[in-house]
Amino acid sequence: MRSRVPRRSSPLGTAVLGIALLATVLPLLYLLSVSLMGRGETVSGVLWTSDPQWTNWGDVLASGLPRSIVNSLVAALGGSVLTLLLAVPGAWAIARYRAGGRTLGATLMSPWLLPPIVAVVPLLTLLRILHLNNTVLGLTLVYALVNLPVAVWLLEGFVRRLPPELEEAARVDGAGAMRTLVSVIAPLLVPSVVAIGIIVAILNYNEFLLATFLTQSADTQTFPVALSLFYGDRTPHFGKIAAASFLGVVPVFAAAVFFQRWLVGGLTQGAVR
């Protein structure tokens, strides 16, 4: 048996990782520092305050921002799940059955490339007809449809990597199209689905324009909309803005750290095992 020899770390690689870590952590640490400053200190250029203003955090927590963060998480995760439920069979139909011809994928992507402002009036009208205007559920449905093209486009490439012989074997065993999709294709696409789901959820969480028009009340506003209201004063309190920003960054940062293995593995290895 061969003895495992520990690999020596490259000095250049260690230096690059150290620089990347500093570039990621330092802005967050300075954001935390600014969140504890008063009005005068935020414009003076100091790196750390000698008199922490913990009231900034208390005012932000009492302003209803946590509810906005929860709304963003619900809309982001719910929209991502609905997007994937529609994107997996859509990508499979395009890749295997050439549904819609060769131009269907490009046709689906073309509206996604347009500025979101062009869709505000139609979406607002449709939600009013469905009595879902100014609701988190309505915003979730909009997010699910808005990011569906990019999810189909990404998943189509992963489906094409799967060996067609697996589906042929399933058909020989008597499995129908739905059974083949659920029992054969979907399990093989799990790494890719998780990676694309994370990307779509982050896009939903950071979205601002549609949420501004489709959620008007404080009970349904998402985090980007609630954060923008802190800039509405004539003299914005940057300490409170930093505290609110730090609270909103925490869920995304934690999700990125927790799901990094699935994200990298799904995008680099695809679904072929």
- Scored b (16 or more CB within 10 A) or e, 230-266 reads beeeeeebbbbbbbbbbbbeebbeebeeebeebbeeb
Domain regions of the chain by residue span: 11-53, 58-269
One-letter amino acid for residue 186 of the chain: A
pLDDT digits (tens, 9 = 90+) for 218-271: 889 999 999 888 876 667 788 888 889 989 988 888 877 777 766 665 555 543
CA angle centred on 209, ends 206 and 231, rounded to 5°: 80
pLDDT confidence of residue 118: 85
Quick check: pTM over 0.85?
Answer: no
The proportion of the chain whose per-residue pLDDT surpasses 90, expressed as a percent, equals 20
Q: State yes or no: pLDDT of 144 exceeds 90.
A: yes
Mean pLDDT of 136-146: 93
Among 41-45, 58-62, 268-272, the range of highest mean pLDDT: 58-62
User: In the CATH scheme, what is the homologous superfamily, with its name and number, of domain 58-269?
Assistant: MetI-like (1.10.3720.10)
pLDDT digits (tens, 9 = 90+) for 208-227: 999 999 988 888 999 999 98
Among 5-14, 54-63, 169-178, 209-218, which is the least confidently predicted range?
A: 5-14
